Chains A and B, each alone.
Chain A
Amino acid sequence: MATPFREILRTKSFVVTTEVGPDKGSNVSKAIEHIGLLKDKVDGLNVTDNQSSVMRYPSLGTCLLIKEHGGEPVLQVTCRDRNRLAIQADLLFAYSRGISNVLCLTGDSIDVGDHKEAKQVFDLDSVQLIHLVHTLNSGKDMAGNELSGGIDFCIGTSASPSSDPLEPQLIKVEKKLKAGVSFIQTQAVYELDELKRFAEFVRKMDEEVKILAGIVPVIGVKMAAYMNENVPGIFIPQRLIDELAEAPKGTGVSKGIEISARMIRQLKEERICDGVHIMFIGREERVPEILEAAGLL
């Protein structure tokens, strides 16, 4: 059985997590394959919650699969698709089935997804969601009613260290830290100095919280340009784009893996943060290559 993530955060000097993206449809064989491949190589497997507002197999269902296959799931919960009743009910269900890590997120806007006419919920925001999980942990629901059975979620959240302007984001991070989180997974970072500054800010407020740097391998110049243009809060510096441009044709993925591994090594060696969260969307099967190149296997 996998070590509880809370225990990992407390004891391990460099924590490694990655993601399993649920499929569109009821065939879960690919997710099971990825779970099998990754569960013993990382400390936790995040499952995205209708990522990018695209409807898929649920985060909760995939977390159950991880649990069934002996992995340690981190349930991502966004505020976009469910109101406070639905979120609490899902969390009760999750905990009852042994899912005890929750990542509290705002969620992308409906506008970026594949059901653009749906009603956005946002009954809560991510700070309120963190408070909600603490309320459940205290044995009560949001309305103050007693809950049967104990609940004890390990709570995490996200942050964007490369935002411009940064100050409003930092105020939000401050509120999340005050609400109480055990770990922060950052948006993808490429400038380690930005992450350093962010980590210093966080540690001044909270020495205990673990910072996991978001790692998204960039596999080509086009992807880099697209991300810089379209993915808010992400900034890929020119020197990395140049490095990708120099890579021989057909070696983009390997180059992206190499760059990510190099960054992870530096983060670890210089103790810039407490771990990494690797997001290799659609290429989960190549995550072990990053881990190996980074010396994490």
Chain B
Amino acid sequence: MIIAERKPMEEIKQAMALYKKVLVAGCGTCVTVCWAGGEKEVGILASQLRLARSAEGNEIVTLEATVERQCEKEMVAELEDKVAEVEAVLSLACGSGVQVMAELFEDKPVFPAVNTTFIGMPQKEGLWVEMCGACGDCFLDRTGGICPMVRCAKGLLNGPCGGTRKGGKCEIDPDKDCAWVLVYRRLEKQGRLDLMRQYYTPKNFRAVKRPGRVQAAKA
């Protein structure tokens, strides 16, 4: 899923400085699961914003709404009446959701309230880690299902750099595992180390021509 983190309150406050009535809009999918922009976070942010503005003697009215997926126009369209009532929208969706909102309601300024960070998974309660870089040229069959493009700090394709720390930790962060040590251990367990010994040619970094576009195959 897509992982995001809420922006600092000061940044959000500044973005809202000109407005007296805003819609705080959440998304019920990825950002709900990673505690960044679901219904609960919408409620928290809206009340924090009201309190902060009230303390400054400059009240703000907040409407709240969360749609199931803010990255789908049909679902965002349900917010039409609420958007009509406000001067601006503060979206807690991922960057895709923010853009759908902005495209659908072109006359209203839409502001992101979160920073979209990566595609990942929950590792433990309250901790998410990056797993996929959406490169468009999946390599996981050769690495025991561990992506060196994002889990190696340098995105190396042919094994670890010389900086691996004692015990197989990453050069730049002793809290992170060296992806290539993980690949080694998994392939060794599977008796498939020959895959790691193979030479992999430079990656096609243009597998997805930006901006990406995928057309479903015709049935």
Chain A positions near chain B (C-beta within 8 angstroms): 79-80, 84, 106-109, 111-112, 120, 122-128, 131-132, 142, 158-160, 163-165, 167-169, 171-172, 174-175, 178-179, 187, 232-233
Contact = CB atoms under 8 A, between A and B. Distances in A.
Nearest to B148: A125
B205 A123 contact: yes
Interface residues of B, number: 32
B189 interface: no
A202 to B, nearest CB: 15
A155 B152 CA distance: 26
Nearest to A168: B184
Interface string B183-219: 1100000000100110111110100000000000000
A120 B154 contact: yes
Interface string B154-172: 1111111111111110011
Given A165-B181, A168-B180, A106 B161 contact: yes
A164 B156 CA distance: 18
B199 A109 contact: no
Contacts of B156: 106, 122, 125
A175 B156 CA distance: 13
A232 B184 contact: no
A178 B196 CA distance: 14
Interface of B: 153-168, 171-172, 178, 180-181, 183-184, 193, 196-197, 199-203, 205
Given A165-B168, A171-B193, A108 B163 contact: yes
Contact of B162 (A79, A112, A171, A187): A187
B197 A164 contact: no
B200 to A, nearest CB: 8
A109 B181 contact: no
B160 A169 contact: yes
Among A111, A122, A125, A167, the one with the most B-chain Cβ atoms within 10 Å of its Cβ is A125
Contact of B163 (A125, A167, A232): A232
A219 B82 CA distance: 69
Given A84-B202, A123-B202, A168-B164, A111 B158 contact: no
A124 B202 contact: yes
Nearest to A174: B197
B157 A125 contact: yes
Nearest to B183: A168
B172 A127 contact: no
A126 B162 CA distance: 10
A172 B154 contact: no
Given A120-B154, A168-B159, A232 B171 contact: yes
Given A127-B199, A128-B201, A163 B154 contact: no
B163 A233 contact: yes
A108 B167 CA distance: 19
Contact of B199 (A131, A165, A169): A131
A131 B157 CA distance: 14
21 contacts: A79-B154, A106-B154, A109-B153, A109-B163, A111-B172, A112-B172, A120-B154, A123-B203, A125-B156, A128-B200, A132-B202, A160-B163, A163-B162, A165-B164, A167-B184, A168-B181, A168-B196, A171-B184, A175-B197, A179-B199, A233-B164
Among A84, A107, A112, A163, the one with the most B-chain Cβ atoms within 10 Å of its Cβ is A163
A174 B165 CA distance: 20
A128 B157 contact: yes
Contacts of A108: 163, 171
A172 to B, nearest CB: 3
Contacts of B153: 109, 111
Among B159, B181, B201, B205, the one with the most A-chain Cβ atoms within 10 Å of its Cβ is B159
Given A111-B153, A169-B162, 8 more contacts: A106-B161, A123-B205, A128-B200, A131-B199, A131-B201, A164-B166, A169-B164, A232-B163
